[in-house]
Structure 1
């Protein structure tokens, strides 16, 4: 009998080396994939997250920490972050699937109503646009004031009105960086500047938390829901509502939906240089266009080939390849940015205030200037300097995103295609004039009152912006994508994130005069009766080359998401009404 010999030591070593090599290759491949998508997709979420820790949030968080401590307000901050994630993800889905932002969709939905177009425009579209503009101006006002206060804290010899004036001109700096809302592609330098400023804010709060030594067990307990919110003094409810109202920013929904339409994967076409361009440095043509736009206030039309006028039932959404390449990664980017930046920074502000100033009988109002003064007295000049630097960086980044959102809103609602310089200058001037008047006449106290008032305005506008977002993303007519039959069979297996993603086969008439087919939700093959130009009906099987089969992939919200979004919308609406009533009665939590 022949017995098999045991494997030699060399064979075992070779197998071990091969296994280790395969593992290293898999790890290396995974790392390269993560790095690739990090370079391509990270940016949108961070830009949207900026609006969720602007100076308006700082004021509310500081007062909440000083008045009520860690619990239950840290849980409210976490809850507000979850609400913001839901709305922001819906905005990103709308832009990625349809190729249009929320403002343009509102116009398509309301401008040419099939039965009462003029009535709907005057009673719904234009009032909604006015509310959005008021929200943009209020947001920009809060960012302008926060940056001005931060500059005055960094440079105490400067009067407050001069810092307001200096902050008002930051728009010119960021105008040179680029305009990501008009290129159809990401402006990575613009995103890099925002990321650096956000990183400075994040690092500053880490240093401050290390300096104050919070009670970390109590901090972590603060994120657990408790009955303390309802059993403490009534002002706790008002403060909690203020946190939610100041956290979920309407302008970030417009901005996020617009940036989600960008192509972040494919390489842009490179035009061949002309002999004249070849003799010039590569940046000169861009500087000339920028100067011409500023000097002549020229119109800045889009040239991206998108359909901005056809109603939803006639539009063609983005291709399934585009959605597959962007939707999942963009969603992850938004979720991680809000959970990893917005929620921690807001929590850090509240933790600082609670650690330094909280006492059960503390009813004093603590604003940004008071917070800085107390930090200077208790923690020293270095901590106060870090706090002021973080405030300036947060205000500047939020201000840029607010003015950018204003440009998106005006172009979407009323197709106002003025140059970016003119649009941002108008937004900034409307915010700058009342800020200068209040700074000169009332000083810091008036600035704080104006800052709080701007957050009340945002709370009022939020339900009016969130409702069309929920409606549009829940509509199958808006959120469906046609796919050729040859690829529709692979769609369900390759889409990166869960959704309804229902696929069906229908017949599509190639004629441009053909009435659009209704959306289907079954996977079976559906036969449609198509209408001839003369009104007669013929079966699609009789058309030799006039039809082709295509799949319909449904990206609309599922029933659970729709019900959850509607429930949150109702809660936000009731909370904002309650906050306005409390404000009118003078019970503002102070």
Structure 2
């Protein structure tokens, strides 16, 4: 809204497209990292920087922990934006409520976790909540489409807005500041952590869930669930414990290739995840963002230097009510309110992933949401009381600029990890060699060990030996399978198939072109952030 009302179609439509493409690349890298390695981005950062062979404490306190703090700042800024958006939606639904009161009421949404049980537990309440969000957001998109038809924008100029323009570097305006905010709002750092975590989940396998209570046993006795006392339930809301899943992956640092997911898992998940990311961003995010900017440019922007004040969400609501009707205005307000809730739940889940990965702390969703929301509540209340709507709009944009500042620090380890062949290699399944025998026995032997220790000659057991291409094949009726040896190999003969011990890997690391493009995105975001810092220091933004 601010970009379109202040600068028209150009040059920030190009930034929306560029941010969407950058989000596709970085989100795809995050998804690939989790899918291939089975570890999320935060866990990889700890593995890389926590136990370095040299200068261990120096790396921890100069790289790992500052990176964790920056990640937490990004999550707080994300939640701050959702807090403000939800508060604005509440004010639009109930105009008589002061803005600071709406901010305070919205902060109480931590109680949502008590109703739906947290973002990861699923169940009917969560599904209903998600369905409501989808319907409302699509309804708002429909409202913007109707508005675009009614206001009749100049579509020729609008499409030219996707072409780069020198106006982006105009030092007399804050166009680059707004552009950086668009980048932060589109390529959100917490989404990279969460995307890499979600990519580690198995979406095709069957989960063995426990039977629901009550359970009736064979002797027809009924087993009821254990009683949950209020004190234990209340204590669980504020629980902080050690994350066991991270402790189990400490040996992973020197064994990337051997600890990665199986090739079948990667093949069944990777392409679907990338297609989902591309469709979501190009098919939904970029069109919605573009529609909002085009609408603001067509209605509020005045060419020739006589532009009005930056448009806000309040202006968008008034426009919807005037051009479409009160019902559409209510839908817009509800969508702001509910979308703020679901985005905050997403930020909370990302915060759990970050804390477990970086510092091995597992924090309950309720406590995590409570702490994050209280941090964002303080500046929101101060600005809402002291400045009002104008200050809230400024704070909203500033929170997105902060996300863009955090982004390069998160993107760099992601690009580096996914460009490493040793990290992104997946072991190929062993290629079986057919071998004909009338007795197809299930056999395992170690090449470094003589066959005499595995079997003895007797009337019921016959051993035959043959050498073919330096491979010793031993047929035994019954044998105990020894573990794999680090020095020696093993041969597993099962149903006429000989499996060799040689290991082959498939490289899923970034190619040269993808590394170059992702590195270019990193440089562009970093340069834009540095420029904004300079402009802020000179007082021009």
Same fold (TM over 0.5): yes
Q: 1 CA distance for matches of 2:214 and 2:149?
A: 59
User: Which residue in the other structure is 1:220 paired with?
Assistant: 159
Describe the superposition over 1:28-55 as per-residue Cα deviations: whole angstroms up to 9, x where unpaired: xxxxxxxxxxxxxxxxxxxxxxxxxxxx
Describe the superposition over 1:395-425 as per-residue Cα deviations: whole angstroms up to 9, x where unpaired: 2232221122112111111011122221121
What SS does structure 1 have at the residue aligned with 2:299? helix
Q: Which moved more, 1:246-255 or 1:302-311?
A: 302-311
Equivalent residues, number: 476
Match for residue 287 of structure 2 among 315, 330, 344:
344
Q: 1:444 to 1:286 in 2, by over 3 A?
A: farther
User: Which residue in the other structure is 1:561 paired with?
Assistant: 514
User: Which residue in the other structure is 2:199 paired with?
Assistant: 260
Check if 1:457 corresponds to 2:402.
Answer: yes
Q: 1:169: Cα distance to partner?
A: 2.7
Q: 1 CA distance for matches of 2:81 and 2:211?
A: 45
Describe the superposition over 1:375-397 as per-residue Cα deviations: whole angstroms up to 9, x where unpaired: 55566545544443333243223
Q: 1:350 to 1:120 in 2, by over 3 A?
A: same
Q: 1:382 to 1:89 in 2, by over 3 A?
A: same
Check if 1:248 corresponds to 2:187.
Answer: yes
Q: Residue 246 of structure 2 contacts residue 357 of structure 2 at CA under 8 Å; is this kept in 1? A: no
User: Which residue in the other structure is 2:310 paired with?
Assistant: 365
Match for residue 353 of structure 1 among 296, 306, 315:
296
Check if 1:144 corresponds to 2:97.
Answer: no
Q: 1 CA distance for matches of 2:281 and 2:406?
A: 21
User: Which residue in the other structure is 1:503 paired with?
Assistant: none
Q: Residue 139 of structure 1 contacts residue 402 of structure 1 at CA under 8 Å; is this kept in 2? A: yes
Q: 1:562: Cα distance to partner?
A: 0.7
Q: 1:127 to 1:300 in 2, by over 3 A?
A: closer
Check if 1:443 corresponds to 2:388.
Answer: yes
Q: 1 CA distance for matches of 2:447 and 2:378?
A: 57
Check if 1:321 corresponds to 2:264.
Answer: yes
Q: 2 CA distance for matches of 1:291 and 1:486?
A: 57
Q: Which moved more, 1:363-372 or 1:64-73?
A: 363-372
Q: 2 CA distance for matches of 1:80 and 1:299?
A: 36
Q: CA RMSD in A?
A: 3.6
Match for residue 145 of structure 2 among 185, 206, 214:
206
Q: Residue 240 of structure 2 contacts residue 363 of structure 2 at CA under 8 Å; is this kept in 1? A: yes
Q: 1:160 to 1:478 in 2, by over 3 A?
A: same
Q: 1 CA distance for matches of 2:231 and 2:426?
A: 41
Q: 1 CA distance for matches of 2:336 and 2:281?
A: 18
Task: Describe how 1:293-332 pairs up with structure 2 within 5 A.
Answer: 293-296=233-236, 297-299=238-240, 307-315=248-256, 316-332=259-275
User: Which residue in the other structure is 1:119 paired with?
Assistant: 58
What SS does structure 1 have at the residue aligned with 2:503? strand
TM-score by length of 2: 0.78
What SS does structure 1 have at the residue aligned with 2:53? coil
Q: 1 CA distance for matches of 2:526 and 2:533?
A: 11
User: Which residue in the other structure is 1:479 paired with?
Assistant: 424
Q: 1:277: Cα distance to partner?
A: 7.8
Q: 1:583 to 1:288 in 2, by over 3 A?
A: farther
What SS does structure 2 have at the residue aligned with 1:97? helix
